[in-house]
Amino acid sequence: MARTPTPVDVPDLHGRRAVVTGASDGLGLVLATRLAAAGAEVVLPVRNPAKGADAVAAVRAEVPHADVSLRSLDLSSLASVAALGAVLREEDRPVHLLVNNAGVMTPPRRQTTADGFELHLGTNHLGHVALVSHLLPLLRAGRARVTSQLSVAARRGAVDWDDLDGERGYDGMRAYSQSKVMLGLFALELQRRSEAHGWHVTSNACHPGVAPTSLLAARPEVGRDRDTTGRRVVRALSRRGLLVGTVRSAALPALHAVASPQAVGGGFYGPSGLGGLSGAPAAQRLYAPLRSREQAERVWRVSHELLGVPAPR
């Protein structure tokens, strides 16, 4: 049974610049389309130019006069992140909305980024930390709202400080969960640092519940040549309107978090239905692994040490 996505209170965004990672398909594409429909200028940093071009065409098919454009970004390469930062700083236009949405999930074998980090750690977390660092002058200029996309997998995740890179024993789901816990702790610490230092940047986090996105689809680039069983089950449930959401409904918590006047810094948003799997977006209690101020400060410090850059002050 088809379901109509619940409306989100999105104000007029004309004159606002939004950057959305992972917007070449799935939740990111839905989010980019909704932001463009509200009048935002939307920048899509993508790894695959062909998919990016298709995404721009899809946005304009729904929003004919959309102000949407591509930039190059591979979050698994710190050089690529730095290059995007340089391009956007050279354009010298404030960024008002940033959604750290892109990610990889559970390659069957341990893989590393161009810089030698385990793929989940390097892409889902460190790539976005580096992006925020490179864009911070533009985010401050735009008094931006930064939203980081987590996962229900963060609910029972943990940071393995003794083996962040999974070198002693790789487990794809554990590595994925850890990367989302770290990104969530970073998002909350970014809010605290912004308040302490007067950056005027608002940072919050969200999760999409469960929906048939491309994260668990066939992805040859991460060594998966067919959809996972989990994705096939979720797709079947989604088609029947049972328990889980749709790609469109799962994008709404991020839309609410980044654009709604009701969303706040330090907030956490997700679907309000049973188990947080689907439903209208709403404020949620922080998952237990996200509640430690000490852990958040450690993630902030260690992440910048791993990146080899000083933490912003």
- Residues marked active site are found at 176
Residue 31: partners with Cβ closer than 8 Å, 6 or more residues away? 20, 23, 99, 101, 251, 254, 255, 258
- List phi, psi (to 5°) of 283: -65, 140
In the chain, the N- to C-terminal Cα span, in Å, equals: 51
* 300 neighbors 169 (Cβ within 8 angstroms): no
Among 97, 216, 214, residue whose Cα is nearest residue 148 = 97
Helix (H, G, I), strand (E, B) or coil at 259: helix
Reading phi first (left if > 0) and then psi (alpha if -120 to 50, else beta), residue 200 is in left
* 238 neighbors 179 (Cβ within 8 angstroms): no
Residue 9: partners with Cβ closer than 8 Å, 6 or more residues away? 256, 260, 261, 262
Task: Report the distance separating Cα 61 and Cα 192, nearest Å.
Answer: 40
| Residue position matching structure tokens 């390097």 | 122
Distances (CA, A) of 272 to 74, 146, 209, 261, 285: 33, 22, 9, 18, 11
H-state helical runs in 99-246? 119-120, 127-141, 172-197, 229-240
Task: Report the distance separating Cα 216 and Cα 266, nearest Å.
Answer: 29
